[in-house]
């Protein structure tokens, strides 16, 4: 609630200041996207906060969005930026609508300071992942970009830029907090709070190359109601009936647990050939999300107004499946399935091959097509919603096709 109120005031402040300006820069962007799939058990989505998915015979428009950005340069050193993005949500809140609302102060050509709501700088495409026209993929690689639902940071960052003869080296440090929803089966939704976010990134841009790395650490700020119910249900069970009970309790108590995120990426684009890739590693003091590895690599080419990309992306965790209680009863079975659902939410083992095609129709309009072929070695998975799923039967291989029209104005 406090974050929503602060963001609302920030947006009103930006708008009131902008209305006083002689010139106001207003930009917009929109994506109309349809996704179809042949999976009967895994509902395809590309962000784990999306409530709508595509199954066989059930197309989805969940990747469609529209956004507006306001920029006002109030002085030679001070700039105000506000961005709002409307896309499908389980819940519609002002806090989710406002993606950015910050002030940027340029002290010198080398030093920049930002305060307010900025992009959470975890990825190469952090600042423009909602702007479909700005990248060549039909959608950012799911195995890499869907793991963390948080896209923005309520706090500040400081960037130092050091120019060389033919390249630019940038250092950034940032701190703050973030909220984002996770949506899962049976109408489950959890507004995940990240507190005490501290991070730093290093990037080098040289002619056709961009190389970057990032380290971010944060603490879980809350738990959800179902986790509390499971903890209370586990407390009275004796250890000799459920030997791993104490380890499960420790895993479910994630509030205050620290999570560490490492990533490195590179991109080469000489207007003819394209190479791009990123690798990430997540470690934490909780088994819920621990030792998760993700990454992708893309290769392609530009041919006049067409761009082709072949991408391989993968994600894998080493979560251990709890063996459960030594005795089976209806009550213990229900409790065990609830525990597994939460502790193994990030039990992920899959990879995807993608072929993408983009055609620039005009300087502001592009059409994109992407075909994904996925092998999921474990379902359920955090990446999907599910139906008709049993431990013995699920779609291990499935395809999805995305068609989108991307516009900037």
What secondary structure letter does DSSP report for 272?
S
pLDDT exceeds cutoff 60 at 387: yes
Q: How distant, in Å, are the alpha carbons of 39, 178, 198 from that of 64?
A: 21, 23, 32
Token reading at 110: 């080398």
pLDDT digits (tens, 9 = 90+) for 272-304: 999 999 999 999 877 777 789 999 999 999 999
pLDDT tens digits, one per residue of 249-268: 888 888 999 999 999 999 99
Band the pLDDT of 226: cuts 50, 70, 90: confident
pLDDT of 15: 53
What is the mean pLDDT of the segment spanning 127-150?
Answer: 95
pLDDT of residue 223 exceeding 90, the answer is no
What is the predicted pLDDT for the residue at 6? 45
The per-residue pLDDT for 379 is: 87
- Residues whose CB is less than 8 angstroms from the CB of residue 66 and which lie 6 or more positions away in sequence, other chains included: 28, 29, 30, 31, 85, 86, 87
**Residue 219: closest CA among 254, 183, 271, 252:** 254
Count of alpha carbons within 13 angstroms of residue 130, beta-carbon side: 25
Of 164, 148, 155, 169, give the one whose Cα is nearest residue 119.
155
DSSP state of 57: T
Q: What is the mean pLDDT of residues 129-133?
A: 95
pTM metric for this prediction: 0.89
pLDDT (0 to 100) of residue 13? 55
Question: For 271, phi and psi rounded to 5 degrees?
Answer: 75, 0
Distance between CA atoms of 39 and 380, rounded to whole angstroms?
A: 13
Q: Which two tokens stand for residue 114?
A: 């930002």
- In angstroms, the Cα distances linking 136 to 131, 139, 141, 218, 277 are 11, 8, 11, 31, 13
Mean pLDDT of 388-404: 87
Q: Residue 64 in contact with residue 8, Cβ under 8 Å? A: no
Identify the residue with better confidence: 74 or 91. 74
DSSP-derived 3-state class of residue 163: strand
Query: In the prediction, which pLDDT does 19 show?
Result: 52
Please state the domain extents for the chain.
31-60+108-408
Which pLDDT tens digit goes with each residue over 187-200?
Answer: 889 999 999 999 99
Q: What is the 3-state secondary structure (H, E, C) of 364-399?
A: CEEEEEEEEEEEECCCCCCCCEECCCECCECCCEEE
Higher pLDDT, 127 or 353: 353
Report the pLDDT averaged over residues 152-178: 96
Q: Is the pLDDT of residue 21 over 70?
A: no
Which one is predicted more confidently, 163 or 388? Answer: 163
229-243, 309-323, 336-350: least confident range: 336-350
The pLDDT assigned to 17 comes to 53
% of the chain with per-residue pLDDT over 70 = 93
Tokens of 287: 């088994």
- What is the mean predicted confidence (pLDDT) over 325-332? 88
For residues 331-353, average pLDDT: 88
Per-residue pLDDT band at 103 (split at 50, 70, 90): very high
The predicted structure's pLDDT at residue 392: 66
Pick from 74, 56, 66, 100: nearest CA to 16 = 74
Q: Burial-class residue 131 by CB neighbours within 10 Å (0-12, 13-18, 19+).
A: buried
Looking at beta carbons, which pairs linking 50-56 to residues 24 or more positions away fall under 8 Å?
Answer: 50/88, 50/183, 51/88, 51/89, 51/90, 51/183, 51/189, 51/385, 52/88, 53/384, 53/385, 54/400, 55/387
Architecture, CATH, for domain 31-60+108-408? Beta Barrel (2.40)
* pLDDT at position 290: 77
Which pLDDT band, with edges at 50, 70 and 90, does 99 fall under?
A: very high
Instruction: Return d(Cα 185, Cα 188) in angstroms, integer.
Output: 6
């Amino acid at each position: 609630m406090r974050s929503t109120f602060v963001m609302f005031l920030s947006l009103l402040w930006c708008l009131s200041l902008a209305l006083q300006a002689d010139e106001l820069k207003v930009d917009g962007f929109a994506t109309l996207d349809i996704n179809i799939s042949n999976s009967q058990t895994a509902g395809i989505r590309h962000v784990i906060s999306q409530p709508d998915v595509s199954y066989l015979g059930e197309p989805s428009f969940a990747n469609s969005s529209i956004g507006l950005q306001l920029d006002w340069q109030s002085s030679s050193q001070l700039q105000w930026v506000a961005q709002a993005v409307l896309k499908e949500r389980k819940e519609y809140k002002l806090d989710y609508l406002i993606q950015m609302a910050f002030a940027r102060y340029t002290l010198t050509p080398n030093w920049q300071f930002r305060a307010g709501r900025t992009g959470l700088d975890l990825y190469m495409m952090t600042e423009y992942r909602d702007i479909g026209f700005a990248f060549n993929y039909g959608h950012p690689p799911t195995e890499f970009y869907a793991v963390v639902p948080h896209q923005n940071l309520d706090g500040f960052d400081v960037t130092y830029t050091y120019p060389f003869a033919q390249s630019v080296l940038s250092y950034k440090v940032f701190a703050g907090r973030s909220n984002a929803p996770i949506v899962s089966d049976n109408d489950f939704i959890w507004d995940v709070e990240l507190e005490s976010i501290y991070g730093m990134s290093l990037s080098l841009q040289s002619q056709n190359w961009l190389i970057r790395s990032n380290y971010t650490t944060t603490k879980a700020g809350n738990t959800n109601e179902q986790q509390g119910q499971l903890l209370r249900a586990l407390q009275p069970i004796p250890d000799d009936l459920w030997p791993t009970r104490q380890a499960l309790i420790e895993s479910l108590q994630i509030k205050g647990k620290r999570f560490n995120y490492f990533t490195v990426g590179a991109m080469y684009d000489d207007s003819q050939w394209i190479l791009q890739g990123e690798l990430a590693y997540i470690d934490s003091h909780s088994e819920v999300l621990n030792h998760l590895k993700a990454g992708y690599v893309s290769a392609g080419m530009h041919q006049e107004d067409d761009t082709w990309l072949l991408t391989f992306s993968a994600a894998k965790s080493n979560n251990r499946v709890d063996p459960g209680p030594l005795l089976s009863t209806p009550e213990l079975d229900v409790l065990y399935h609830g525990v597994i659902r939460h502790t193994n939410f990030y039990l992920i083992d899959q990879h995807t091959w993608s072929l993408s095609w983009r055609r620039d129709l005009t300087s502001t309009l592009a059409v994109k097509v992407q075909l994904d072929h996925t092998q999921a070695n474990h379902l359920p998975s955090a990446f999907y919603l599910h139906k008709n799923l049993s431990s013995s039967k699920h779609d291990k291989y499935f395809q999805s096709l995305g068609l989108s029209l991307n516009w900037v104005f």
